[in-house]
Amino acid sequence: MKFEDFLFTHDGADLFEKTQGLDEVLTSGVMTGSEGLGIRLSEKTSPEVKIKEKSGSEHKVIMLGSNSYLNLNTNKKVCEAAMRAIEKFGYGMGAVSVYAGITDIHKELEKRIANFYGCEDAVLFPSGYGTNIGVISALCSKNDIIINDSANHASIFDGSKLSGAKLKIYPHGDIKALEKILQKLKNTNAAKLIITDGVFSMYGDIAKLDIICDLASYYGAKVMVDDAHGLGIVGATGKGSAQACNVEKRIDLNVGMLSKTAGAIGGYCATTKKIAQYLRHYARSYFFSTSLPAPVVAGLNEVFKLLEHDRAGRKELWLNITLLREKLSKAGFNTENTQSGIIPIVIGNESILFKMHQDLRLSGVYTNIVTYPAVRRKDCRLRLCAMKDLTKTQIERAVEIISKIGKKYGVI
């Protein structure tokens, strides 16, 4: 079975025939890589957590598959703020932001995010996916050109398609290819937007934002960075990929997600007042979506208080990132050029990947599984995410289990 086998309706077929085909494969007993998807948590996310298998059985795993790098989703002050907001505002807002769906704490959060990036304003979106969809489709149209890194998040590509703009794609991290595209567009009158992840979610490396900004300035393009996995982690004080590349004042659209380091849900775009005002009127995923619940927003205000002053545990996290990466590399695994809390283990064979992912989970280590369409099949991988609260003992035990299973399948 391949993912693309069930994407389209065959000529003359019933619209829902492909759903039957997928079901037959998933229930056939053939390993597809989906065995560990949709596993349920039986308690709050932590470095060692009880999960429930699809069979109903429960067991503990060392959690190396959570985006809550700094464990802020269980931070005491964050949770207490959320509880106070429930008492005052209830658990949901009941309206979109442009009607009566926001409070003072929503505006406080937008201000905190704007200040964090040194921008004039910021716009909150109720989902991360909807942030990229909304920002890109609002600002770009059929008369414009969008230039994407091939490893950008799916939501960036979906927003680009939705905008109707002409789309150009350069191979992941290939700055020479990006410049060739810009050179060919030098004499066009079309407005140009270069979009890149800050930290690439499947590779863990950081975009060369200093060079990208230089090229954008020279060729008259704007720059948008989705720093979902960079917020609070990379940069001298955790300000993200732009800080890591010393271009904090050169990014036109600072997009981030509140579902990774921040441990909640939602997204944002920090930018100028005029662009933010425009987004509030033209970003359909903002205009037509109910706003973030007040308890989530209250918790996020506490999160950004910690991030503003680099007091969220970034240094402790980096000790764990370094330890995990070094031990995996020493064991013989290919972790590529990771520069963040994302540590890939390249497998390169889907059949082995599916078996390893299954064995790891059942042996007490939860990782994320990554293959097509997120990456090419020959680059399929396990994606590990380090967490601040992991202990040295847990990391060593996890690497021991991963190494044992890696040897079993000839990966190392």
Do the Cβ atoms of 136 and 195 come closer than 8 Å? yes
Select which of 106, 172, 239, 260 is catalytic: 260
User: Residue 216 belongs to what H/E stretch?
Assistant: helix 209-219
> Rounded CA gap, 270 and 117, in Å?
7
Do the Cβ atoms of 200 and 179 come closer than 8 Å? no
> Rounded CA gap, 96 and 372, in Å?
35
User: Residue 23 belongs to what H/E stretch?
Assistant: helix 17-26
User: Has 184 been annotated as catalytic?
Assistant: no
Select which of 172, 192, 229, 388 is catalytic: 229
Buried b (16+ CB within 10 A) or exposed e, 242-274: bbbbebbebbbbbbbbbbbbbbbebbbbbbeee
> Rounded CA gap, 251 and 237, in Å?
18
Dihedral sign of CA atoms 82, 389, 332, 357 in order: negative
Select which of 201, 241, 259, 340 is catalytic: 201
User: Has 60 been annotated as catalytic?
Assistant: no
Residue the block writes with tokens 């003359």? 12
User: Has 229 been annotated as catalytic?
Assistant: yes
Q: Strand 58-63 relative to strand 145-149: parallel, antiparallel, unpaired? A: unpaired
Instruction: Report which DSSP code applies to 173.
Output: T
Residue 29: both structure tokens together: 């007993």
Catalytic residues: 201, 229, 260
